[in-house]
Amino acid sequence: MRIHTGRVTAAVALAVFVLLSSTVAPQPLFAQEESAAKALLEKSLEASGGAEKAAHWKTMTEKGELTVHWEGWGTPHAECTRYVKRPDKMVLDQDFSKYDNPFFFTYFYNGGDVWAVVNLGVRQNPRYTTMMTRAMKNTGGMYYYATECDTLFLVADIPDDSLVAASTVNRIGIVDQGDTVFVDLDKKTHLPVRRIENGGTQHVLLGDYKETGGLKVPFRVTVYQNGAVAAEYVWEKIEFDTPIDDAKFEEYRPPKKPKASG
C-alpha cells in the first residue's frame, strides 16, 4: 500500500490530511519527507524484531495484572488475560474478584462482532465495539500501520508535556480509515513509547520492553484519559503461537437479531 507523507504539526494535521489524500503528485519536499518517514517506520519494525516476525505470528496470549482508576471506587486491581488469534479474534478477560472486588468483565471481538460479559450479563454497546476494534488493530503494532494505513506523515514540532519529553522522540502521524493516531518513537531505541488517540484525549504509554518469541513488546501499558491515569496493564507473561481453541472466541455470543420484515 502506498504511503504519503508531509510535514505537519498537530495543530494543522486535519487540514493537511485533505491535501495528502488528493491525487496531486507530491512535490520534491514531500517526496524527501516520505523517504524519511518510511525510514523511521522501518527502523521501528527492525528494532522490534523485524517485519517478518511481526507478520507471521498467529496467536498471542498475555497474562498479568490490570489496575484501573474509577471515581468512587479508588484503584481496583484485576487478574487480566488477553487472547488474540489472527486475523480477527480477541478476548480480554478482567477478573477483579481475585482482589475482593465484585467486578467481572470479559470482552469479545470475533470477525468484527463485539460483545461483553459484564458481571455475568451479556451486553453489546457501541463503546465496546470502538474499544475492541482499536485494540485488535493495535495488536499488530507498527506492522499494522505499515501495511494497512492510508497516510503516514512526520510531525516536525512536538510540544513538550508531562508524559514524554519531546526532545527524546520522533513523532509520526497515521491516518487509519479516517481516524488519526500519533505515535512517538524513542530516538535511541526506535521503539514506540506513546500512542495518541481519540483526537488527543487518550495517551497510551508503552514501556518495559522485553523480548519474547523473537519480538520486543511492551510489558507495561498505561492509559491516560484527558490527562489522568485511567488504567495500567502490567503483563507478567506474553507468548506467541501457543494453541488457542476457536471456541474461546465464541463464548456467550449473543444471538443475531432477526431482520425486520418489510
- Which span out of 103-107, 156-160, 234-238 was modeled with the highest average pLDDT? 234-238
Question: What residues does 110 pair with on adjacent strands?
Answer: 89, 113
pLDDT at 261 over 70: no
Residue-wise pLDDT tens digits, 122-143: 999 999 999 999 999 999 999 9
Average pLDDT over residues 202-218: 98
CA distance 132 to 128: 6
The answer to whether the beta carbons of residues 223 and 54 sit under 8 Å apart is no
Least confident span in 16-25, 32-41, 171-180, 188-197: 16-25
The confidence score (pLDDT) of residue 177 equals: 83
CA distance 182 to 176: 11
pTM metric for this prediction: 0.84
Residue-wise pLDDT tens digits, 45-84: 999 999 999 999 999 999 999 999 988 878 999 999 999 9
At 127, is the secondary structure helix, strand, or coil? helix
The confidence score (pLDDT) of residue 71 equals: 83
The confidence score (pLDDT) of residue 31 equals: 60
Per-residue pLDDT band for 98 (boundaries 50, 70, 90) equals confident
Average pLDDT over residues 34-44: 83
How far is residue 187 CA from its own chain's centroid?
20
The confidence score (pLDDT) of residue 2 equals: 37
The confidence score (pLDDT) of residue 27 equals: 37
